[in-house]
Chains A and B, each alone.
Chain A
Amino acid sequence: MSDRSTFWPAPPDSITARIEAVGVTVTASCGDRGVFLLSGSSKTVAQLVKDYPGTLLQIAPDRAMLVTDAQVGLQDGWHPAGVAISDLSDAHIRIDIRGPAAAALLALGSASLAIDPNPRAAAVGFAGVTLLVEPLPDGARLYVERPWAPHLWHWLLAATQTAKDQP
C-alpha cells in the first residue's frame, strides 16, 4: 500500500499560517469566535439575534450564520420561536484575503465573486468547494469547513505563486 502522506501535503497550522504575495495577504484562524447556524423564518432569526453583536451571514432564505465575539445565550437545538440553532464554532477555518490584489485572487477562485464581490447569499463555490464569504473593505473573509481547509490553503498557495506568471 502506497503512503499518500507525501502526495498530500500536511495541512497548515491554522494559527500561524500566512501567505504574503504581491498585493495580497492571506491569513488563517479558527476557534476564537462564536459561530451559530440558525434556521427558520428570516424575520424570526433576525429577531432572535438582534441583541447580539456580530455578523449575520445569510446563507439561504431560511438559513443564516451568526459570527460573534460576544457570549450569547444561544443553545443548540430547537428554539420555541421556531428556529433551529447549532453551535458551529469549530466547524470552520477562517481565511482572510486582504490587500489591493485581493479582488483578483477572489475572482480567480469564484465566478460568482468575479461578478459580484458582495454576494447576497454568503455561500459560494470557490476553488472547487462551497464556503461562506464575508466581504471586507479590503478583501474578504472565507469560512471554509475544516475538512476542506487544507485544500483551500494549498490552492491559495498555488494561486498566489503562479499569479505572477499570468500573461
Chain B
Amino acid sequence: MTGPVRIAKAGGCALPFTFAGRSMQGRAGDTIASALLANGISTVGRSFKYRRPRGILSAGEDEPNAIVDVTLNGVRVPNVRATTQALEAGMQVSPVLGRGAALLTKLLSPFLASGFYYKTFLWPNWHMFEPAIRRMAGLGRIDPASRMSAGPGGNLSVDLCVVGAGRSGLRAAIRGAQAGQSVLLVERQDVPGGSSLWRGGDGVAGLLSEARAVGVTVWTGSTAFGAYENGRLGVHRQGDSVTLGGSLWVVQAAEVVLATGAIERPMLFERNDLPGVMLADATLNYLRRHGVLCGARPIVATNNDSAYPVALALAEVGAKVTVVDSRPPSERSAAAAKRGIRVLTRARIARALGRGRVSGMVLADGQRIEGDLIAVSGGWTPTLHLYCQAGGKAIWDEGKSILVPAFPVPGISLAGRVAGKWEAPDDLPWAWSAAPEIPGDGVSRKVWIDLQNDVTLGDVELAARENFTSIEHLKRYTTLGMATDQGKTANLLGAAAMAQATGRATTDLGLTTYRPPYVPVPMAALAGLSRGPVQSPLRRLAAEAAHRAMGATLWDYGGLLRPAFYGADEGSIVEECLAARQGAVVFDASSLGKVAVMGPKAGELLDFLFAGRMSTLQPGRIRYGLTLNEAGIVTDDGVVLCLGPDHFLVSCSSSHVGGFVASAEEWRQTRFGRDAVLIHDRTAHWATMSLSGPKAKAIMAGLGIVGTLDDDAFPHMAFVMGQFMGREARVARVSFTGERGYEISVPAGLAVALWPSLIEAGAVPCGIEALGVLRAEKGFIYVGQDTDGETMPHDLGFDAPRLKRRMGFVGDRALQLPVAGDADRKQLVGLAREGGGVIPAGAHLIEDGPRRSIGFVTSSHQSPSLGRGIALALIEGGRARIGEQVTWFDLGKTGRATVTPACAYDPDGSRLHV
C-alpha cells in the first residue's frame, strides 16, 4: 500500500464527484481535499511558474497547492481552496493549473528566476510580450456565464466578538457572556472545537454546551477576514453550497478576543514540494476527522514537540512511523521510541526522494529512509493577522522562537496559541515553538519556500544579491507571500532566509504588512445585494410611470433615469426639436434644483455664491447666474427666484444640487452666521414641467394654473404663483430652448397628473436628447460638458464678473489674475462644418500651420431647425477667430469648419416673446 487511503469504514453517506474527469466517491463531512486523499490522489495540480506536480500540503486556509476549479449545477467557481471547501455530490473538480507547458517550462526553468520578467522582456518593449504572459499567468479561469448568488449579509453589533472556537475561544466567550456581555463566537470550521477536533483534549463538548447555555451566539463556517477601524470586523459566512457566495457581515464589537490559533510551518529541504510532503498537523486532521491515513510508512520530520502526538496517532492505526527530529534526544523522543516508533534525533532531512510522489528521504548524513509520506513540522506561526490589521505589529522573538505581538491594541486581546500559549497534551515537557531552519551552503537552492508562487531559497538569495533586501522589496521582487494564500506558510520562512542571506536577525527584518482579507472572499459575497439595479442606483422622476406609459426610452443621465426621447427610435428626436420650434413641447425638469435660501442674510449669501448680484432681485423676478470655485472656474449655472426679501429659491442644474447645497452650507455656517441664513433643499418636494414653444402661451392659458399670462405683468424672467388641483403651483418664465417658456412647478405628488394635462392640452413630449439639441442651437451651455477645468465666466461670454471688478464672491480674486486675461484662453464659440454634416463631439481643433490642438468640440448635433450641423467648441482666443476656418481632427479623420458665434439660432432672442 502506498499513498493516502481511507481506513475508517464508517462515515457519512457517499457523495459522487469527479476530479480531472475521473469519477470518485467521497463522504458527507469530507472536504474536497480529504475526499481526494481518500481516493488516493497525490497530485492535485501543477505549480504556478515551473508547472511542477503539487500535492495537498495542509488541511486549512493556509493551503498553497490544492486550489481547484469547481463546477456544480452549471455554475463554475474558480480558485476554491480544497482544504476548506465541503464536498458536495456532483462536484466536477479540476486543477486550476494543469500540466500545460510543463516540458517547456522545465527546459526554461534555469532562466525563470526571480525578476526574469524585468530582465528579459525589455526589448523591443514589455507590451509586445504582455498579452502572451498574461494568458499564461494567473490562477483559475473565470466563467462569465457563471453567476454565484449570495445572501445579503448585514450589520451586527455585539459587546464581545471572539474569533476562533477552540478551547481558548470558548472559554473567553463564556466569560464574556457570564459577565453580561452580548457575545458572538466566530468559527471558520463547520463545527466548533478548533484543533481539539483532531488533537483531542477534554472538555470541548462541555464548553460548547456551556457557551450556548449562557447565550453565546455561535457562527460556524464563518471567517473573520478583516479587522477595520473602530472595532469593526468583516465576517464571511459560507453558503450552504460552493455555488452560493455566502454572506458578508460587518460586526461592530466593543471588545474582540482573537483565539485564532497558529499555523504550522513547513521545513526547508531539497525537493520539499514533492507530493506526499505534508504538514504533520494536517495528516492528523485527515486521520482523526476524515478517517484518511495519508501514508502507511510516514516519516515525521520535526524540530519541535508538536509532531510527536501526530507520530503516535499514525502508529496507533498501524502505520510504520519514523520520526526524524533535528534536536537532541529528549523525554518525548524516548517516550515515542518506547511505543515502538523509530526515532532519529539530531537528524536533518536533506532531500525528498520519489518520482511524482514521495518514496523516501535522504538525511544530511546521507542515510536513506524509505517512506510514502513526509509529515513535516517546522514550528508554528501564531495567526496574528487580525491583530496586525487592527494596528498591531508582529515581531519575531528570538528568545521564545515565536512570533509575538509587539504591543497591545486597544479593544483586542489574544487567547491561546495566538498568544503563544499551548496547553501540553500530557505531563512531559512541551516545546512547540522553534526557529526556522534554513539550509546552509553546500546544498541545492531548489528548496521551495513559497509553494504557491514557486519561490525558492535560491530566489531569495538572488534578491539579496541584487540588493532587494528589505522584506517589502523581497515580496515584490520574488512574489513571495502573494496570491491566494498570502504566504501563510511562507512569510516567516522567507524572512528567515533573507535574514540568513544578509547576515541579519529575523527580528530586524520584520514581516510584510498583513492586510484584509485573511482569506479570499467571493466577490458575490462582497457584492451582497448590490447587483443589478440595486448596485448603483439612479434617482427617479416622480412622473416616471407617465413617461413609461408614453413610450419613453429611458437612459441614465448624471445619476438620474430620464426620458431620452419618446417614440420608436431616435428619429423622434428630430420631431421633438421641430415641435419645440413650431408648436410646443414639454420636458420633465423635476430634477432641477430647488434650494431655498432664507434669512436676513439670504441675499448676501447669494451675492457671495454667485458671480453676479442676486440681492437686488425684486420679489417675483428671476436672474441667471454662474457659480465659481475659488480659482474662478465655473462650477454650475442656474437661476435664482426671489420669493421675498429674505427668501430665495435657487434652481441649479440637476447634477449639481448636492454640490451646491454643500458649498452653500459651508459658506453660510463659516461666513454668514448659522442663524442669519438657512438653507433647505426642496428639490424632492417639487416636480417641474418645462413647457416651451410658440404655442406654449396658448397651452398655459388653457390649463388655467395662473391668472394672467400678459407679458407686461408676467414677463420673461419672472414668476407667478398659481393653483393646480387645489394646491400651490409656481410658474416661472424661463427658457432653455430659446422659445417662450414656462416652468410649472407643483408638489411632486401631482407630477403624474400635470404631465398628461400638458400632453392633452397639445404639448409634445420632449426628451433630454432633443433638449440637448435645442439648447446647443442657442449656445446655452451644459456646465461640465461645454466647460472644462479652466473655464471662467468671461470665456463663456459673461464678461461682467471680471470687468466690473465687483469683489466679495467666491472666485473674485482669481478673475483678476493675469492668467484670467490671457488672450489665448479657450473661449466658447460655435462651429459650422464645411460641406455640411456633423463634426464628431470631442474632436480636436487644429491650427493651420504647426499642427497643434487649439481646442475641442464640446457639443455637436444635426440641427433640424437650421438644416445643418451645429457645434459648440472651446477654442484658444475663440471669439477673435470668428469667421476663420479651422481644421478638426477625430480618430484619424479631418475636416474644415468655420468659427461662428456660439448662438446659431435666434441670436436677438425674439422667439422668447412669440
Contacts of B643 in A (CB 8 A): 76-77
Q: Is B111 positioned at the interface, with any CB of A under 8 Å from its CB?
A: no
B823 at the interface (CB under 8 A from A): no
Contacts of B544 in A (CB 8 A): 10-11, 150
Which residue from A5, A7, A151 sits with its C-beta under 8 Å from B548? A5
User: Which parts of B527-581 form the interface with A (CB within 8 Å)?
Assistant: 529-530, 532-534, 537-542, 544-545, 548, 552-556, 560-561, 564, 570
CB distance from B646 to the nearest CB of A (A): 4
Complex contact B685–A167 (CB within 8 A) = no
Contact A147 B591 (CB under 8 A): yes
A23 interface hit (Cβ, 8 Å) = no
Give which listed residue, B154, B602, B675, contacts A82 with CB less than 8 A: B675
Decide if B244 is an interface residue (CB 8 Å cutoff): yes
Selected interface stretch from A46-54, A66-74, A133-141, A154-162: A154-162
Q: Which residues of B have CB within 8 Å of A9?
A: 533
Known: A8-B538, A115-B252, A167-B239. A37 touches B680 (CB 8 A): yes
Is B675's CB under 8 angstroms from A167's CB?
A: no
Q: Is the CB of B678 within 8 A of A88?
A: no
- In the assembled complex, the Cα of A77 lies from the Cα of B648 at a distance in Å of 9
Residues on A with C-beta less than 8 A from B537 are 128-129, 148, 150-151, 154-155
Instruction: Indicate whether A114 sits within 8 Å of B156 (C-beta atoms), given known contacts A86-B685, A167-B221, A167-B237.
Output: yes
Select one of B152, B564, B644 contacting A77, CB under 8 A.
Answer: B644
Per-residue interface assignment for chain B, residues 244 to 258, with 1 indicating a CB less than 8 Å from any chain A CB and 0 otherwise: 101100101000000
CA distance A62 to B553 in the complex (A): 42
Cβ-defined contact, A86 with B682, below 8 A: yes
If A77-B644, A148-B539 touch, whether A5 touches B553 (CB-CB below 8 Å) is yes
Q: Are B155 and A166 in contact (CB under 8 A)?
A: no
Taking CB atoms, residues of chain A closer than 8 Å to B788 are: none
Is the beta-carbon distance between B678 and A40 smaller than 8 angstroms? Answer: yes
Contact of A108 with B155 at beta-carbon distance under 8 Å, contacts A10-B544, A30-B749 already known: yes
Determine the chain B residues whose CB is within 8 A of the CB of A78 once the complex forms.
Answer: 598-600, 602, 644, 646-647
Residues of A within 8 A of B157 (CB): 107, 114-115
Bitwise, B134-158 to A at CB < 8 A (1) or not (0) is 0000000000000001111111110
In the complex, what distance in Å separates the CA atom of A151 from the CA atom of B532? Answer: 11
B677-712 CB contacts (< 8 Å) to partner A: 678-680, 682, 684-687
Closest to A35 in B: B685
Chain A's closest residue to B748 (CB) is A90
At the interface, yes or no: A56 with Cβ under 8 Å from chain B?
A: no
Within 8 Å by CB of A39, from B149, B246, B680, lies B680
Q: Is B31 an interface residue (CB 8 A)?
A: no
Cβ of B189 within 8 Å of any chain A Cβ, yes or no, is no
Whether A88 and B682, one on each chain, are in contact in the complex, defined by CB atoms closer than 8 angstroms, is yes
1/0 per residue, CB under 8 A from B, across A114-158: the answer is: 110000000000011100000000000000011111110011001
A17 contacts the other chain (CB 8 A): no
Residue A22 CB within 8 A of the other chain: no
The verdict on A91 contacting chain B, using a C-beta distance below 8 Å, is yes
Contact yes or no, B554 A5, CB < 8 A: yes
Q: Is B596 an interface residue (CB 8 A)?
A: yes
Residues of A within 8 A of B529 (CB): 127, 155, 158-159, 162
A107–B238 touching, CB < 8 Å: no
Please state if B155 and A107 are interface contacts (CB–CB under 8 Å): yes
What are the residues of chain B within 8 A of A76 when measuring CB–CB? 596, 643, 647
Instruction: Tell me the smallest distance from the CB of A129 to a CB of chain B, in Å.
Output: 8
Q: Which of B761-812 contact A (CB under 8 A)?
A: 769
Decide if A91 touches B685 in the complex (CB within 8 Å): yes
Taking a contact as CB atoms closer than 8 A, the residue among B252, B540, B552, B674 that contacts A147 in the complex is B540
CB of A1 within 8 A of CB of B155, answer: no
Q: Nearest chain-A residue to B560 (Cβ)? A: A147
Give Cα distance in the complex from A21 to B596, angstroms.
Answer: 40
Complex Cα distance A7/B548, Å? Answer: 13
The yes or no answer to B240 lying at the interface (CB within 8 A) is: yes
Give, as a whole number of angstroms, the nearest-CB distance from B92 to chain A. 23
Which of A39, A78, A115, A159 has the most B CB atoms < 10 Å from its CB? A78
CB pair B548–A154 under 8 Å, yes or no, is no
A3 with B554, Cβ < 8 A, contacts A11-B544, A162-B151, A166-B152 known: yes
Contacts of A166 in B (CB 8 A): 151-153, 237, 247
| A111 B252 Cβ-Cβ under 8 A | yes
User: By CB atoms of chain A within 10 A, which of B155, B541, B602, B679 has the most?
Assistant: B155
Q: A110 near B: Cβ within 8 Å? A: yes
Q: Any chain A CB within 8 A of the CB of B354?
A: no
> Could you say which residues of chain A place their CB within 8 Å of the CB of B246?
167
Report the minimal beta-carbon distance from B698 to chain A, rounded to whole angstroms: 28
Interface string of B636-674 (1 = CB under 8 A from A): 000000011011000000000000000000000000001
Give the docked Cα–Cα distance between A89 and B682 (Å). Answer: 10
Q: Within the complex, what minimum Cβ distance (angstroms) separates A88 from chain B? A: 5
| B747 in the interface (beta carbon within 8 A) | yes
Do B675 and A10 have beta carbons less than 8 Å apart? no
In whole angstroms, how far apart are the Cα atoms of A152 and B476 in the complex?
44
Give the docked Cα–Cα distance between A150 and B561 (Å): 11
Residues of A within 8 A of B570 (CB): 1
Residue from A30, A84, A114 with most neighbouring chain B CB atoms (10 Å)? A84
CB-CB < 8 A to A4: which residues of B?
Answer: 554-556, 561
Q: A29 vs B542: C-alpha distance in the bound complex, in angstroms?
A: 14
Asked if residues A107 and B151 are in contact (CB atoms below 8 Å), the reply is no
Determine whether the beta carbon of B534 is less than 8 Å from that of A151.
yes
- List CB contacts (< 8 Å) of B721-760 with chain A: 747-750
Chain B: which residue is nearest A62 at the CB level? B674
Q: Which residues of A contact B684 (CB under 8 A)?
A: 88, 90-92, 145-147
Interface residues of B in 238-293 (CB under 8 A from A): 238-240, 244, 246-247, 250, 252
Known: A77-B646, A89-B685, A91-B748. A151 touches B538 (CB 8 A): yes
List 27 interface pairs A-B (beta carbons < 8 Å), by A numbering: A3-B555, A4-B561, A8-B540, A11-B540, A39-B679, A78-B600, A78-B602, A78-B646, A84-B596, A86-B596, A90-B686, A90-B747, A91-B684, A107-B155, A107-B157, A114-B154, A114-B156, A129-B537, A146-B540, A146-B748, A150-B537, A150-B544, A162-B152, A165-B239, A166-B152, A166-B153, A166-B237
Given A90-B685, A147-B542, A151-B538, 8 further pairs, Cβ under 8 A? A1-B564, A5-B553, A8-B538, A11-B544, A84-B679, A154-B534, A158-B534, A166-B247
Chain B residues in contact with chain A, CB under 8 A? 149-157, 221, 237-240, 244, 246-247, 250, 252, 529-530, 532-534, 537-542, 544-545, 548, 552-556, 560-561, 564, 570, 591, 596, 598-600, 602, 643-644, 646-647, 674-675, 678-680, 682, 684-687, 747-750, 769
Closest 5 CB pairs of A and B: A147-B539, A151-B537, A114-B155, A84-B678, A108-B154
